[in-house]
Amino acid sequence: MSDVLTATADSAAQLFTDTYGHQPKGVWSAPGRVNVIGEHVDYAGGICLPFALNRRTYCAASSRNDGIIRLVSLLPGRKKVFHWEGRISDIGPGHPRRWPGYPAGVIWSMWQDAATIGVSLTETSGFDMAFVSDVPVGAGLSSSAAIELATACAVFDLVGPGLDSLSEGRKDTPSQHIIKACIRAENEVVGASTGGLDQSISFRGQAGKALELDMGEGLISDVPFDLAGNGLAILVMNTNAPHNLGDGQYASRRAIVDRVMEGLHVTEPHREHKLVDRALEWTAQEPEASVKEEKEEWLDLVARRMRHIVTESRRTESLVTALRKGALGNPKDKDAVCGLEQIGGLMTASHESLRDDYEVSCPELDSAVDAALEAGAWGARMTGGGFGGSAIALINAEDVEKVEEAVLASARQLGLATPTFLVAIPCDGARREK
């Protein structure tokens, strides 16, 4: 294919036909996501507030009965087409590597739990799939969950009961199984220790709304998030700093949290009384460091990690409460200013906690956040796993260009990569397109 494709259902079908020589049985899509607040707490039973992004990954697909799986992908803004071919039995922890691990991992995971999920998958099952996407890769906007859920929807429709069999809002047990299969693919095949926020919102997102995800209780509820109607915007600031959750930094932080929660028999840290103190008492008994100075450093590290886990979910609860009370108002209405300041303050406090206690920010993210705030943003924070990727800012819709210019100027002054931008609009989750 000679031209760079725009990511649509038609372009996915075109890539499929050009590659395999026949028409696909259908095209499915799933969005990336923006997390308004509630970062690095999904794997700790915390509360998150994401919405589905208005950027999608499209999967054109057909089933086969010869056991062959063929995958082809055209990455955003690229002309080069990437291919992978194999069998279900070829897939497992660490293989295939890079992008094929996400869709192949989903097929493998659904095969592993075929009876539970309700799909007809055996070692003779195969698929032809073609992917196109406009979700920025490596931007912390969960391009991984988008390709996983697009794949899962295709498989569920082609060899399972079909998406139409799921309940409205997708809060039923079969929907949970689909999400868990995608989480397992990313955890076990790709090797990224993600906790499920991304997969859940990519599958369940609703236009004009954010979703409150209580990962400990397993509760899901809609939260009004009408940005455009109130003259507001969420500006995504992609720092274009390298972002890779499979490099061990993400996993090392999760390992500390998992260890403390297991040791204290805690499932929802933010609901525990004096959890940080209890975590320190328990950790002090662990033979993690024999030298006093090392032990003090270790205890300080554990305290900061757990403090973020506790305070972040509480910030999310406060922000959700504010939204339900109508705090997201039009900035031209003087009565709305107090609510917007509250929302923005919680977002910014989240970034400070991620920067100082969880230590997952970086100079590029800090630059974007600081510049956006100086340019008048109500609040700003990094979003996603961190160590690069994107930050977001809640701004007046009329200030988009002003904030972009401020963020660009800051990056230039510090000699950082040139950021790129998009205005995020809450949209619907994964679906069949045609």
CB burial of residue 218 (10 Å; 0-12, 13-18, 19+)? exposed
Q: Are 313 and 350 in contact (CB under 8 A)?
A: no
Torsion angle in degrees (nearest 10) through CA of 207, 429, 17, 6 = 50
Backbone angles phi and psi of 142, in degrees to 5: 65, 50
List the structure tokens of 17.
Answer: 């036909």
For residue 93, cis peptide bond before it (omega within 30 degrees of 0) = no
List the structure tokens of 91.
Answer: 């897939």
- Mapped to the 3 state alphabet, what secondary structure does 49-115 carry? EEEEEEEEEEEEEEEECCCCEEEEEECCCCCCEEEEEECHHHCECCECCCCCHHHHHHHHHHHHCHH
- What is the set of active-site residues? 198
Closest C-alpha to 35, from 215, 181, 185:
215
Strand blocks (E) in 267-337: none
Q: Which amino acid is at 238?
A: N
